[in-house]
Amino acid sequence: MTRPNLSHWQTSPVVSHYAMAVLSVAVAIIAAEIMTRLLNAEPIASSMLCAVIFAAWFGGFSPALLAIALALLAFHYYLLPPINSFAWKHNLLAGGVSEVPRLILFSITSLFVAFMVSAQREATEALRRSSGDLQAAVEDQKRIEAALLRSEMHLTEAQRLSRTGSFGWNVSSGEIFWSDETFRIFQLDRAAKPTVQLIVQRTHPEDRAAVQQTIDQASIDGKDFDHEYRLMMPDGSVKHVHAVARAVRDALGGVEFRGAVTDVTFAKETEWKLRRSEAYLAESERLSRTGSWAWDVRRREFVFRSPEAHRLLGLDPERDAAPAQPLWDCVHREDRDRVIEMVRQALREKTDFEGDYRIVLPDRSTRYVHAVGHPVLSNDGEVTELVGTHVDVTEQYLAKVALQEAVDEIKKSEDRLRLVIDTIPTLVWRAGPEGIPDFLNQPALDYTGISLDEAATAWPGAFHPDDKTGMLRQWSAIRDSGIRGELEARLRRFDGEYRWFLFQAEPLRDQSGNIVKWYGSSTDIEDRKRAEEQLRRSEAKLTEAQRVSQTGSFGWNVSSGERFGSKEFFRILGYENPRSVTSDMVLQRVHPEDRAFVEQTIDRASRDGKDAQYEHRLLMPDGSVKHVNVVAHAVRDQAGQLEFIGAMVDVTSTRRAEEKLHNTQAELAHVARVTALGELTASIAHEVNQPLAAVVANADACLRWLDRETPDLAAARRSAEWVIDDASRASEVVRRVRALANKADIEKVPLDLNNVVREVIALVRRELGSHRVSLRMELEPTLPRILGDRVQLQQVIINLVINGIEAMQPVTDRPRELVVRSGQDETDRVLLSVTDCGVGISAENANRLFNAFFTTKSSGLGMGLSICRSIVEAHGGRLSVSSNEGPGATFQFVLPLHREDAL
């Protein structure tokens, strides 16, 4: 193609030159024709000449000749008769002899002009060409220079890219030349003057000695050197460089080294990485027991075997070479033909091969190998190499064998399972997705008495008629939900008895998640059902019992604050179905007068963690008052937290009845006391009055005897005697009354006063409770005994306690608290005090307090404290009263010690 193209470009100018000549002549003819027609001139000769000049100038001499020839033809056409005809003009010479000179002249002129013009053209052309040559020469020069520059740049660039710098070293002059890259490698400024010293200084300290030695050696021997060393950069990084130098002797015989220094840090690192990656590969091969190999088909030998491939064959990769043949020998005799055939087929069909076979190691042990091979094809499609891997799959093989054994075992255990399913005492069944059982275990068949064949249709009939509808609905709901579910229903036994069963069903899904089967079990829960029923009944009974007995139960976890209350509990408090109970809900209902007492009691109980029992009133929203008795039992839960379980009993009616009874009793007692006292006084008065009346009467009579005209002295004397007599009798009566009062002799025995107090408190606890008085006992534990009458001392203490309770009756703004203390005073006498916080005692009353018949109470007789004092004084003690610093008063008495104790 190139060739024709080239020939075209060589031909073209020549043809064009001739064409030009023809064209010039044609133009000249046309021009002449036009001028002849328009101007009637005959410029044909001059125009032809112009055409020849034109042809000569542009085409050269040969085209000019052609133009001349054509011009002559044109002349022949125009000037020879017949003019303007192309017919052959026989008489060339006939008619136009006149024209011949003109033609000759024209010819000569044309030739000359053509020659001149073409010569001129040649000269011009030659000049132009030589100028072109000069231009080309200059351009060549430029191109060479550019190429040099480029080559230098390339060199520099190459040096930079290859990290290779060049250097020169004139040993004798010590002059060192460095390329840019060398400076860059050494990270030195271009302005610096490279010296040996500088090089050594830049060298890694560990390599300095070696470098110095190499340079010294080179300077002495003048021989080539080649060494690698490390550079220590100012920023602490390390570079590996490889320096090569060749010695050149100059004309003077001096040695000059020219060389290159290459930064091989990257290569070093790559090498190191490669080494490491090879190590990894080897390691991974070792770990995966995979050996790789390459087999040269033509040479029929292994060209590569990884260390693991050696090891696989029981060979030492270091010591043993890789023999070409032993693999076949290694392969187990039974597998050998198969392996050979496999490889051959791969070679034949140029396909990968893969297969398992056994190899026998030198120690006669057998390994299982999985081999994979891949043919490598040459350009001409021939298999040149096989590359592949060997994997030691002995473990996997053994595992597979074990798995197979396990599967066999499972198969066996499945049979056993079947046995189990048919023997366990639970009804086991399986149903299709639509819920119809397709399998029942033996117990299920036995229980229901239906056969497996009829199970699909007969199973709903086995359920209790009352449960069937509900069961079917629930079963349908479970199936719709697609998750495990359960239901309870009664199932008929073969003998017709129905028992409660718990049916549990679990879906089995295929891989796409569709339920393929339902597996279920049915457990006999008849006993549980019965227990549940019993429990339900018992709970109902409890609720009923609570309602009837008006007893509400509650619980309170002190630490967590969690509370609960039974229905009755809330009913007593007057709440309609509250969800929970709070402390406020309870306190809100407590009667305002009892609130302080209740809070105090609850606080104490929760603080001490002890059982509590107390009574208080509730003020209901409708203004009615309820009495409740609260018993709280303190228990500790597993976490050791304090919890109260208790009962609240509505004792309003009881309390009302009791109060009524108590009031009646109190009234009765009071009436009885008043009556008794009245009778006593009347009796005493009568007894005393009688003799006194006699005395008066006798005395009057005596006077009258004396007042007579004749005083009857004997009668008067007798009267006076009787006066004395009767007065003595009156005195005797008084004496007898006193004797009567003293008649009850006190029986003094050694006593522990604390015990007496406790007995008394037991007697008055009801009084304390009904008056919402909290009692605090501060009894000295080691109290010496006293000598006294238990009953009388009890009377005294009861009196003081009751007095205290009554004194606190008007108190509503603070807790009613009564404190009973025992102890010893400064003279070691036993002391007992009863402190109330009631109305207290005014100073004026304090003096009269112990007088008989003195009372501040509307219903009192005024005998109590008087009697108390008598009793205490009869025991050799003293009863006193004092006002408290706060509200209330303190009564206290002291008793002497029992002598034996005192001693």
Partner 1 sequence: MTERAKSSHEPGDAEPIVIVVDDDASMRRALTNLFQSVGLAVEVFGSASEMLQAKLPDVASCLVLDIRLPGLSGLDFQTELAKANIHIPIIFMTGHGDVPMTVRAMKGGAVDFLTKPLRDQDMLDAVMTAIERDRKRREADRVVANLQAHFEALTPREREILALVSTGLLNKQIAAELGLAEITVKIHRGHVMRKMGAKSLADLLKKAEMLGINRSKR
Instruction: List the structure tokens of 116.
Output: 């001149």
CA distances from 293 to 152, 356, 796 (A): 47, 16, 119
Q: What is the dihedral of CA 867, 868, 871, 873, to 10 degrees?
A: -110
- Applying CB under 8 A, which residues contact partner 1? 682, 685-686, 689-698, 700-702, 704-705, 708, 712, 715, 718-719, 722, 725-726, 729
> For residue 630, which of 656, 599, 663, 659 has the smallest C-alpha distance?
599
Query: How far is the CA of 709 from the CAs of 704, 705, 713, in angstroms?
Result: 10, 9, 11
10 Å CB burial of residue 588 (0-12, 13-18, 19+) is: middle
Nearest to residue 785, comparing CAs of 755, 760, 761?
755
Q: What is the 3-state secondary structure (H, E, C) of 413-479?
A: HHHHHHHHHHHCCCEEEEECCCCCEEEECHHHHHHHCCCHHHHHHHHHHHECHHHHHHHHHHHHHHH
Tokens of 867: 């009697």
Interstrand relation of 773-778 and 816-824 (parallel, antiparallel or unpaired):
parallel
Cα–chain center distance at 635: 38
Mark 648-678 as b/e (b = at least 16 C-beta within 10 Å): bbbbbeebeeeeeeeeeeeeeeeeeeeeeee
Dihedral (CA of 495, 498, 504, 508) sign: positive
Nearest approach, Cβ of residue 787 and partner 1 (Å): 43
Which is nearer to partner 1, 325 or 681 (by Cβ)? 681
Query: Which CB, 723 or 783, lies closer to partner 1?
Result: 723
Q: Which amino acid is at 426?
A: T
Q: Nearest approach, Cβ of 747 to partner 1 (angstroms)? A: 36
Q: Are 51 and 43 in contact (CB under 8 A)?
A: no
Question: Cα(252)–Cα(245) distance, rounded to whole angstroms?
Answer: 20
Q: Which tokens go with 531?
A: 């227990």
Q: Which helix (H) or strand (E) holds 485?
A: strand 485-492
Shortest Cβ 675–partner 1 spacing (Å): 15
- Kindly list the distances between the CA atom of residue 831 and the CA atoms of 822, 856, 864, in Å, as whole numbers in the listed order: 6, 26, 20
3-state secondary structure of 406: helix
DSSP letters spanning 342-392: HHHHHHHHT--EEEEEEEE-TTS-EEEEEEEEEEEE-TTS-EEEEEEEEEE
Q: How far apart, in whole angstroms, are the C-alpha atoms of residue 607 and residue 559?
A: 11
Query: Least distance from C-beta 678 to partner 1, angstroms?
Result: 10
Count CB atoms within 10 A of the CB of residue 806.
18
The greatest distance separating any two alpha carbons of the chain, rounded to the nearest whole angstrom, comes to 260
CA torsion through residues 54, 58, 63, 65, sign = positive
DSSP letter string, 750-804: EE-HHHHHHHHHHHHHHHHHHTTEEEEEE--SSPPPEEE-HHHHHHHHHHHHHHH
Report phi then psi at 827, rounded to 5. -100, 20
Tell me the one-letter amino acid at 799: N
- Using CA atoms in the order 19, 22, 27, 29, what is the torsion angle rounded to 10 degrees? -170
How many residues are recorded in the chain?
Answer: 903
CB of 853 to partner 1, least distance (A): 18
Strand, helix or coil at 883? strand
Reported for 12-16, long-range contacts at CB under 8 A and 24+ positions apart, including other chains, are 16/59
418 or 686, CB closer to partner 1?
686
